[in-house]
Amino acid sequence: MDYNGWYIKIIAWRELHIKQHHFVLILSFVVGVFSAVAAYLLKSSIHLIQMLLTDNFSRNDVNYWYLVFPAIGILIASLFVRYIVKDDISHGITRILYAISQRKSIIKLHNTWTSLVGSSITIGFGGSVGAEAPIVLTGSAIGSNLGKFFKLDQKTLMLLVGCGAAGAIGGIFKAPIAGLVFTLEVLMLDMTLTSIVPLLISSVTATATSYIFSGSSFMFQFTDYESFAVERIPYLIVLGIVCGLVSLYFIRGMNRIEQFFRKYKNPYTKLVIGGLMLSILIFIFPPLYGEGYDTISQLLNGNSTSVLDRSFFLNMGDNPWVLIIYLVLIIGFKIFASAATNGAGGVGGIFAPSLFVGALTGFVVAQLFNIFGLPMPEGNFTLAGMAGLMSGVMHAPLTGIFLIAELTGGYNLFMTLIIVSTVSYLTIILFEPHSLYAMRLAQKGELITHHKDKAVLTLLKMENVIETDLIVLSPKMSLGELVKIISHSKRNIFPVVNPDSGVLMGVVLLDEVRNIMFRPELYNRFTVDKLMISPPATINNQLPMEKVMEIFEDTGAWNLPVVDNQKRYIGYVSKSKIFNSYRHVLVHFSDE
C-alpha cells in the first residue's frame, strides 16, 4: 500500500472540497472529543490506582504505607520518562507556551499520550501534584499534531493548540467557559472573534463528551451557599490580599525549591531527596497525598475535622486552633511536596495544588474571622480562596472566577469570586509580573504575551535577520588593499576579524576613511588595525529580539555586529532588516 500516495490524495481532496475556515471548525470538534477522552482516561487511571492502594486504609490510624507509595510512584514515573519517553514532559503548560513562542506551535507526537501515563502513575501513587497540566499538554499536542498532519500554517496550528487546551480544561473539569478563558488568559497571543469560535467548539464538545462518560454532576457538591452581602466586602478584600500574598509565597517558593533540585545532575540523587521529602510530608500530613480534591470536598461540606484522619493530630480535632495550625502547616508544606514530586522525576502540574492551597487558605481565614466574633460562611470563603489562589498563581482572574463557579454550580457567588480574584491579582502583580507558568520563559525572553509588539518581537529569530554578506577585513591589510575592496563593495561597513581566532577586533566605516582613500601616497602607510574603530556595541547571537532592540535604542546605531559567546564574528544585524521582518510577522499574525 502506497501510504504517501494516499496521504497526498487526502490532503489534496481536503484543500479542494473543504474551505480552510470550515475545516478548522471540524478539527476543533475532533480535538474537543479526543481531549475529553484523554481527560477521562487520565482521571480514571488515577482513581483506579489510588483505590487499589489506599481503599483499605483505616481513617483512625496512622498508615506507614504513606512512607513507601509516593516514592515508588516517582521511581516508576522517572524510569518511564528516562528510558521510554527520553524527553522532558514536566511543566506541561510551560512547554506549551514554549512551543507557541519558539517552535511554531509544533508539539511532539509522543506528548499525546506520555503525559497521561507519567502523571497517572505519579498522582495515583500519591504524588502531590495535579493532572490538569499534563492533560492540557496532551490536548494541545493532539491539536498540534492534527494540524501538522493536514499541513496547516503556523497561525492555525497555534489556534489548534489553544483548542486542545480549552478542550482539556473543559473535559477534565466539565467547565466550558473556564476552558475558553484559560486559553485566552494563559496561552494565546491575540484572539479575535474568528478565533474564539473554534475554542468554544472544542471546550463545549469536550464538556459534553465528559457528561456522556461520567454524568452531568458538578465536580464539588456544595449547596450550602450564603447570598452575597455588601457588609462582607471588607472581609473579602482581606481574603483577596491574603490569597495574593500566599500566591507570592507559592510562586517564589516553588521556584526556589525547583532551583534546589536542578543543582543535582544525577537523577537518582534527585529521586532519593525528593522521594524522602515527599513521603515524610505525606506521612505527617496525609491530605498532601495526591491531588487533594477529597480534602476540598470535606471542607466544603462541613466535615473539616475529617482532614485530620490518618494523622497524628486526629485526637485533637475538638480544638479549633489545632485544626487551623494543622491547615496552615499544610499550606506551607504543599509547595515542598509538589516541587519534590516534580523535582524527583514525577509528572504533574500546579493547577490542583493551587486550588488545594486556595481552599485551605479561604477556610482558615473564615475560621479566624469566626473565632474573633466576625461570623463568615466557611464554604463561601473556601470557594473564594480557590479562585483567589488561581488568579494569583496563574495571573488569570477570569479563569479563577469561572472555573470555581462551574466546578460547584455556584453562579450566585459571582460577586464574591470577582472581588477576591481581582484583589488577589492586583496584589500579586505588585511583586511578580508573570505567572508561575510564564516566569521561566519570560526570564529568557521567550514568552509570547498579549502585548502585540513584544509578542511579535518574540516570534522573530536572530538567525533570520543576521546578514553575512559583509566583506571581512584582516587587521594587517593595507589601505591600498582596503580601497580595492571598497570599490567592489555595496556596503559601507567592514568588520575586522582576527584571522586565527575569528574574534571581532573592530570595524572600518567608509565615512572614517573617505578623506584619505584617494591619496595613493598613504596606501602603504596605513593598515586596517590603525583605521578601525570599536562598534557602539556587539550583540550576542543568543539574545532575544526584545533585548536586541533595547541595545539599538540605547546606542542609537542602525547596524551592529553579531558575535558568539567567544566573541567570534558571525555577521551583522540592521535595524531596517528587523523592521522589515517585524512587519512581515505582524501582517501574518494579524491577518484574518
pLDDT tens, residue by residue, 291-306: 888 889 888 887 777 7
Distance between CA atoms of 363 and 357, rounded to whole angstroms? 10
Confidence check: pLDDT of 551 > 70: yes
Q: Are strands 493-497 and 504-509 parallel, antiparallel or unpaired?
A: antiparallel
Angle, helices 414-428/378-394, rounded to nearest 10 degrees: 40
Give the residue from 326, 382, 379, 332 showing the smallest Cα distance to 358.
Answer: 382
Task: Say what the pLDDT of residue 105 is.
Answer: 80
Q: Indicate the CATH number for domain 230-455.
A: 1.10.3080.10
Helix, strand, coil abundance in the chain, percent, nearest 5: 65, 5, 25
CA 151 to mean position of chain CA atoms? 26
Q: For residue 473, which of 455, 454, 491 has the smallest C-alpha distance?
A: 491
Reported as type and span, the H/E element at residue 24 is helix 20-54
Quick one: DSSP state of residue 566? T
Position of cell 498540534? 144
One-letter amino acid at 124 equals G
Per-residue confidence at 441, pLDDT binned at 50, 70, 90? low
| Confidence bin at 457 (pLDDT 50/70/90) | low
Phi then psi for 530, rounded to 5 degrees?
-90, -15
Q: Which range (45-54, 207-216, 253-262, 520-529) has the least confidence?
A: 520-529
553 contacts 569 by C-beta, under 8 angstroms: no
Domain map (residue ranges) of the chain: 3-214, 230-455, 460-590
DSSP alpha helix (H) spans, 108-153: 114-124, 132-149
Residues 6+ apart with CB under 8 A from 149: none
Q: Cell 455588601 appears where?
A: 230
C-alpha distances (whole Å) from 149 to each of 20, 85, 113 are: 14, 21, 17
Residue 51 has pLDDT above 50, yes or no: yes
Q: Which three cell numbers stand for residue 311?
A: 494523622
pLDDT above 70 coverage of the chain, percent:
89
Each residue's pLDDT tens digit, 496-511: 999 888 899 999 888 8
Mean pLDDT of 478-495: 85
Inform me whether the pLDDT recorded for 444 exceeds 60. Answer: no
- Mean pLDDT lowest for which of 14-28, 29-43, 52-66, 552-566? 52-66
Compute the average pLDDT of residues 176-180.
92
pLDDT band, very low/low/confident/very high, at 585 (cuts 50, 70, 90): low
C-alpha span between 90 and 347 (Å, rounded): 6
Between 216 and 70, whose confidence is greater? Answer: 70
Which own/partner contact pairs does 252-258 have at CB distance under 8 Å and 24+ positions apart? 252/432, 253/335, 253/336, 253/339, 254/335, 254/338, 254/339, 254/350, 254/436, 255/436, 255/439, 257/335, 257/336, 257/339, 257/340, 257/343, 258/339, 258/342, 258/343
Structural domain 3-214, CATH architecture? Orthogonal Bundle (1.10)
Stretch 341-360: mean pLDDT:
91
> Please, how many CA atoms are within 13 Å of residue 199, restricted to the half-sphere of its CB?
26
pLDDT at 592: 44
More confident residue, 58 or 205: 205
Q: Reduced to 3 states, what is the DSSP secondary structure of residue 303? A: coil
Measuring CA to CA, which residue among 489, 481, 536 is closest to residue 510?
Answer: 489
Closest CA relative to residue 125, chosen from 43, 199, 42, 68: 68
pLDDT band at 547 (very low <50, low <70, confident <90, very high): confident
- Which helix (H) or strand (E) segment is 497 a member of? strand 493-497
Q: Residue 33: its pLDDT value, please?
A: 96
Sign for the CA dihedral angle at 65, 67, 70, 76 comes to: negative
CB 388 within 8 A of CB 361: yes
Helices (H), 150-189: 154-173, 176-182
Rg over alpha carbons for the chain, rounded to the nearest Å, is 29
Which residue, among 217, 221, 234, 237, has the nearest Cα to 293 in the 3D structure?
A: 221
Return left, alpha or beta for 94; rule: phi > 0 is left, psi -120 to 50 is alpha, else beta.
alpha
First vs last C-alpha separation in the chain: 39
- What is the three-class DSSP state of 496? strand
Q: Give dist(CA 420, CA 377) in Å, integer.
A: 14
pLDDT of residue 9: 82
Query: In this model, does residue 274 exceed pLDDT 50?
Result: yes
> What's the confidence (pLDDT) of residue 449?
47
In terms of DSSP bridges, do strands 539-540 and 504-509 run parallel, antiparallel, or are they unpaired? unpaired
The mean pLDDT value for 141-163 works out to 90
> Which one has a higher pLDDT value, 57 or 272?
272
Distance CA 230, CA 422 (A): 16
Contacts of 588 (CB under 8 A, 6+ apart): 154, 155
Contact indicator for 585, 452 with CB cutoff of 8 Å: no
Specify the amino acid at residue 526.
Answer: F
Domain 460-590 fold: CBS-domain (3.10.580)
Residue 445 reports pLDDT greater than 70: no
- Asked if pLDDT for residue 310 goes beyond 80, the answer is no
**Per-residue pLDDT at 345:** 87
Confidence at 532, pLDDT banded by 50, 70, 90? confident
> What pLDDT score does 315 carry?
66
With a threshold of 0.95, does the pTM exceed it? no
> Is the confidence at residue 2, as pLDDT, over 70?
no
Say yes or no to pLDDT of 1 above 60: no
The pLDDT assigned to 190 comes to 55
Domain 3-214 identical in fold to domain 230-455: yes
| 136: its cell numbers | 492540557
For all residues of the chain together, what is the average pLDDT? 85
Better-predicted residue by pLDDT, 186 or 324: 324
